[in-house]
A and B are shown apart, each in its own frame.
Chain A
Amino acid sequence: MVDSTVISKPQEVRISEVIELLKPRVMSLVIFTAFIGMIIAPTGINPIIALASLIFIAIGAGGSGALNMWWDEDIDRLMKRTRNRPVPAGTVSGKDARLLGLWCSGFAIFMLALTANFLAAGILAFTIFFYVVVYTMYLKRRTAQNIVIGGAAGAFPPLIGWAVVTNGIALEPILLVLLIFLWTPPHFWALALVTKEEYSLAKVPMLTVTRGERITRRYIFWYSLSLIPIGFMIAFSSIGGPLTLGLVIVLNIMLTLGSYQVMTRDAEKSASDGYIREKVLFKLSIWYLFVMFAGLGVESMLHAFYEPYLVWPELF
């Protein structure tokens, strides 16, 4: 007789599973925002140092993703969206995921310190610690404010990128951190409205579970509104300009309208049309961040190549 438990145990880890453990989609967002953080910095950097730093930042982000999957195995198994991840699916053991996560994180911090500077490596270390220990191990299972506070972890990459180039911290990257920090709750809650039952099943205290849909919809709207002043502050800082201002106006109008539509709907109406507005808001929020950061990158190029391409009031 063949013992099925022996067969189901993970044997040899495939490369595709290792890549999945490193959360490539989250990694791509980290790379993109860190890259923009580097571009908008006032001083230059050797392109090889920049590329190497980006690689190490990405490996650090991947390491924290693997540690997140190791710790969250039990709740990932209960949710449809996450049950096919390597650890809950049984193709990679939790021990292997933890080992990969620890090695990637340590390696990335060490190499970033050698390649760039200790400040950038320190912020990377703090980001990994915040995501794994503060968010994954503590906040996620205890409070409805999990993604509000935990969102800070995803907000740091532009600051790391800036620190790689300048070996310092300034108001501009802090504004970008604030932008991602305040963007995270409406982005995740829009998704949480759609997957409410799954979080409830996994006993994750998302706002949709603890306070209900109505409150969540209201929070989404208010958090979306809070992005407006941050956007204007960025537009009138040294990294801003007319392009950024135009994007801030257009993108915030779209996000505010989208979140207002979500706020004014009730659960029955949303369920009847398959949460279409919530899904639109979720996608819109992704585009919001992508276009905003891409715009900042383009603006920075304009500043660099057509200096002075215009006189712009720097109020912050």
Chain B
Amino acid sequence: MAISKEHELHTRRKSRNIFVSLALVAFVFLVFAISIAKFQDGQLIEGFDHSYRATLLKVEE
């Protein structure tokens, strides 16, 4: 049997690689979306470092 450049194994591998790439891209977007959602929900994010940025604090009369 002649050795062909494109074996059936390669096509199987290719489709799997495409799927894995898409899954990874989707995961990156998901983590990004989760981060944005968490930032939106968090009130005073800079509060965690114990040094509040003055501009983020409410002005008290």
Contacts and interface: CB of A to CB of B under 8 A. Distances in A.
B52 interface: no
Interface stretch (A9-17, A66-74, A135-143, A259-267): A9-17
B40 interface: yes
Contacts of A12: 9, 12-13, 16
Contact of B38 (A13, A15, A49): A49
Interface residues of B, number: 14
Nearest to A50: B37
Nearest to B38: A49
Among A14, A15, A48: residue with most chain B CB under 10 A:
A48
B44 interface: no
A49 B41 CA distance: 10
A52 B33 contact: yes
Interface string A15-41: 100000000000000000000000000
Interface residues on A, range: 10 to 19
A66 B54 CA distance: 52
A48 B13 contact: no
Given A15-B19, A46-B40, A46-B41, A115 B34 contact: yes
A55 interface: yes
B15 A15 contact: yes
Contacts of A115: 34
18 contacts: A11-B9, A11-B12, A12-B9, A12-B16, A14-B12, A14-B15, A15-B15, A15-B19, A46-B37, A46-B40, A46-B41, A48-B34, A48-B36, A49-B37, A49-B38, A49-B41, A52-B30, A52-B34
